[in-house]
């Protein structure tokens, strides 16, 4: 899977991509073709490269700003390079593109000499530049220069002096023939450097992408995750998109700590306790790591998985004509089938069996949790139900704080929730619905009747 397709599927990934200030189409192409990596080595290499750039960006941002400025001029000429490789004679426009790329690559290379600015060395293109810049002007412009051939030079002089139309046309033809011979010759000489040109294009695209990723990492306060075999844990985990949304309303985001260890974790919590956001953030982070990004946390240890499977209720499947329950349970069945094939998965299920009655719902949650747990799957399942019969680890969102100093409204309610997670040994979901209803000022009679009903 490439970022290109994941960006449509993974909640919050679009926000990350949109906030990357990539300057060139080559850089954008590189980014969107980032693979979801499953090999530890590949992920670590990728993170180390980014780490290198992030470290320099923290102390010497200016150098990257200069380079990024230059990369605005980068053009995607992979078609031209491919024509060169195929043995075609390039036309003036293509030769110009190659010279333009070579000079740009040289400019970037010159900015990076004497200091480790990138974790790799920018390829040396001085030979192709020599071929395409016979006058050594170093200006990114191109034509078939007089200095390529004394014959050409003579024809052009005669052409300038020619007055008769017929003679003029004749000389034009001669000039074109000579120019064509030179183009063929230049293309042949350049062919030996096609691989280097290709590499230069990729390197500049990568540089563009890395700088943008590093700047975003610093601006958002992401951290470099450690790749581990012993489960996944995050300190101060946050969701960048939700944080931004809250910030615009002058509200703050409460980061949370969470650890998962090849086991199923059941999270219970009151309504509005941020359980769905936790799942979405876990999915986002797993993708970010395996796409070569840092993650929104202060500390992160992540185990790689083959696949992330998510069941978070949305209207889409319901629009397809399936009932909410049918859509959900079929989704869960797909997850179970996949889990039986390979255990290296991250499964995230929101409010499992929320669309059916509590008796059966509880059974569905318990069975799913136990089945996945026995398969050794890392999973997080959020639920409303109390007393789920499962030996799985249980966490609870702390929920409403005890001291509430003002009348609750939909606007301020978020400030009275403690979103952090705590181990829940009782297995009882917090009975906070009535309290919330009361705090929200729901009709007194209704609240009293609910309480009476509960006491029965």
Partner 1 sequence: MPFIEDILKHKSLSIVGLEKNTGKTECLNYVLKRLKNYDRKVALTSIGIDGETTDQVYQTSKPEVMIYEGMMFVTTEKHYKQKQVTAEIVGISERSTSLGRLVTARAKADGKVLISGAPDTAGLKRMVAELQDFGVDLTIVDGALSRLSLASPAITDAMILATGAAVSSNIHQLVKKTKHAVELIALDEVETSIKEKLAGVEKGIWAIDDSGEAHDLQITSAYSLDNVTTDLFRYGKTIVVFGAITERLLAHLKAQKNVAEITLVARDFTRFFAASETISSFIKKGGTLKVMQKTTLVAVCINPTSPEGYVLNSEQLRTEIQRVAGVPVYDIRKI
Residues engaged in binding partner 1 (CB under 8 A): 25, 75, 91-93, 96-97, 100, 140-144, 156, 159-160, 172, 175
* Between 60 and 169, CB nearer to partner 1: 169
Please report how close the Cβ of residue 96 comes to partner 1 at its closest, in angstroms: 4
* Between 160 and 320, CB nearer to partner 1: 160
The residue among 11, 13, 36, 37 whose CA lies nearest residue 279 is 11
DSSP 188-223: HHHHTTHHHHHHHHHHHHHHHHHHHHHHHHHHHT-B
* Between 165 and 453, CB nearer to partner 1: 165
Coil, strand or helix at 338? helix
* Between 25 and 409, CB nearer to partner 1: 25
* Between 157 and 342, CB nearer to partner 1: 157
Please report how close the Cβ of residue 146 comes to partner 1 at its closest, in angstroms: 9
Element (H, E) at 327: helix 324-341
Please report how close the Cβ of residue 27 comes to partner 1 at its closest, in angstroms: 13
Please report how close the Cβ of residue 127 comes to partner 1 at its closest, in angstroms: 21
* Between 172 and 449, CB nearer to partner 1: 172
**Orientation angle between helical segments 92-112 and 194-220, nearest 10 degrees:** 50
Contact between residue 98 and residue 90 where contact means Cβ atoms under 8 Å apart: yes
CA distance 367 to 388: 9
* Between 156 and 262, CB nearer to partner 1: 156
CA distance 229 to 304: 8
Please report how close the Cβ of residue 202 comes to partner 1 at its closest, in angstroms: 19
CA distance 261 to 233: 8
Please report how close the Cβ of residue 181 comes to partner 1 at its closest, in angstroms: 15
For tokens 């190659």, the residue is: 98
Torsion sign across C-alpha atoms 10, 12, 13, 14: positive
Contact between residue 180 and residue 92 where contact means Cβ atoms under 8 Å apart: no
CA distance 368 to 107: 58
Please report how close the Cβ of residue 362 comes to partner 1 at its closest, in angstroms: 53
* Between 142 and 325, CB nearer to partner 1: 142
Q: List, as own/partner pairs, every contact residues 250-253 make where C-beta atoms lie below 8 angstroms and the sequence separation is at least 24, other chains included.
A: 251/414, 251/415
Please report how close the Cβ of residue 191 comes to partner 1 at its closest, in angstroms: 21
| Both structure tokens of 392 | 């799985």
């Amino acid at each position: 899977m490439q970022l290109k397709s994941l960006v449509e599927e993974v909640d919050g990934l679009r926000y990350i991509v949109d906030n990357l200030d990539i300057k060139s189409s080559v850089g954008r192409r590189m980014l969107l073709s980032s693979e979801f990596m499953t090999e530890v080595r590949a992920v670590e290499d990728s993170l180390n490269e980014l780490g290198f750039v992030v470290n320099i960006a923290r102390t010497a941002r200016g150098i990257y700003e200069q380079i990024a400025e230059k990369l605005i001029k980068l053009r995607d000429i992979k078609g031209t390079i491919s024509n060169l490789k195929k043995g075609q004679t390039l036309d003036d426009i293509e030769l110009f593109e190659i010279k333009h790329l070579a000079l740009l690559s040289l400019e970037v290379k010159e900015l990076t000499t004497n200091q480790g600015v990138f974790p790799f060395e920018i390829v040396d293109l001085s030979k192709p530049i020599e071929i395409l810049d016979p006058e050594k002007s170093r200006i990114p412009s191109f034509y078939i220069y007089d200095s390529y051939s004394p014959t050409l030079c003579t024809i052009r002089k005669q052409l300038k002096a020619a007055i008769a139309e017929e003679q003029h046309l004749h000389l034009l033809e001669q000039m074109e023939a000579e120019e064509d011979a030179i183009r063929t010759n230049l293309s042949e000489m350049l062919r030996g450097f096609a691989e280097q040109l290709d590499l230069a294009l990729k390197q500049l695209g990568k540089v563009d992408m890395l700088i943008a990723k590093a700047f975003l990492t610093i601006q958002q306060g992401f951290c470099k995750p450690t790749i581990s075999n012993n489960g996944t844990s995050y300190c101060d985990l946050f969701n960048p998109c939700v944080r931004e949304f809250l910030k615009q309303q002058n509200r703050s985001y409460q980061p949370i700590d969470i650890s998962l260890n090849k086991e199923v974790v059941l999270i219970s919590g009151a309504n509005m306790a941020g359980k769905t956001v936790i799942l979405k953030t876990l999915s986002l982070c797993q993708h970010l790591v395996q796409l070569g990004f840092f993650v929104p946390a202060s500390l992160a240890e992540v185990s790689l998985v083959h696949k992330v499977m998510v069941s978070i209720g949305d209207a889409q499947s319901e629009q397809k004509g399936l009932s909410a329950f049918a859509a959900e349970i079929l989704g869960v069945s797909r997850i179970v089938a996949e889990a039986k094939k390979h255990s290296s998965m991250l499964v995230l299920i929101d409010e499992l069996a929320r669309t059916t009655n509590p008796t059966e719902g509880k059974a569905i949650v318990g069975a799913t949790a136990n089945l996945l747990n026995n398969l050794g799957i890392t999973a997080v399942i959020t639920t409303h139900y109390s007393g789920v019969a499962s030996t799985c680890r249980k966490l609870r969102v702390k929920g409403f704080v005890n001291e509430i100093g003002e009348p609750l409204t939909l606007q301020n309610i978020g400030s009275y929730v403690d979103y952090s997670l705590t181990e829940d040994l009782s297995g009882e979901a917090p009975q906070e619905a009535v309290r919330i209803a009361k705090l929200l000022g729901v009709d007194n009679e209704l609240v009293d009747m609910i309480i009476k009903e509960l006491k029965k």
